[in-house]
Amino acid sequence: MSAEVPLLETRILVVEDEPGVRDFVKRGLLSVGYDVTAVDDATQALEQLARGGYHLMLTDIVMPGMDGIALSLKAAKEYPGLKILLMTGYANERQRAHNLETLIHTVLPKPFSLKALISAVEQALLAPRMH
């Protein structure tokens, strides 16, 4: 974890429409000490981001309404310090996301283990801002 933001003060926003995945990610990140807010769509995510203070957004690519890529583009523009991780179970969506390398840190393929989740989050938080 970076020296400028202690673990307990690291705020992560999880955006996932599948309750089981959303709960797994939230519980997993809470278990290692992150401050986690979880929402189920992009509208709620944008409302949370407007409140400020988030260091990382972890969003599913495929969601009803605004998908995770559109959400990431909007969030990166409006909140340039926000780090972004995407997750998906679809190879074609993973390929779409690779065209956004300057905005996101990685695409986490589903299903993933708690260890893979924590590792991806730690790497994203330690990495310099991509854009």
Residue extents of the structural domains in the chain: 7-123
- Per-residue pLDDT at 1: 43
Contact partners, residue 115, CB within 8 Å, separation at least 6 = none
| Residue 123 · residue 106 · CB < 8 Å | yes
- Per-residue pLDDT at 127: 84
In this predicted structure, the answer to whether residue 113 has a pLDDT above a threshold of 50 is yes
Using CA atoms, how far apart are residues 69 and 57, in angstroms rounded to an integer?
Answer: 12
User: What is the second-level CATH architecture of the domain 7-123?
Assistant: 3-Layer(aba) Sandwich (3.40)
pLDDT band at 3 (very low <50, low <70, confident <90, very high): very low
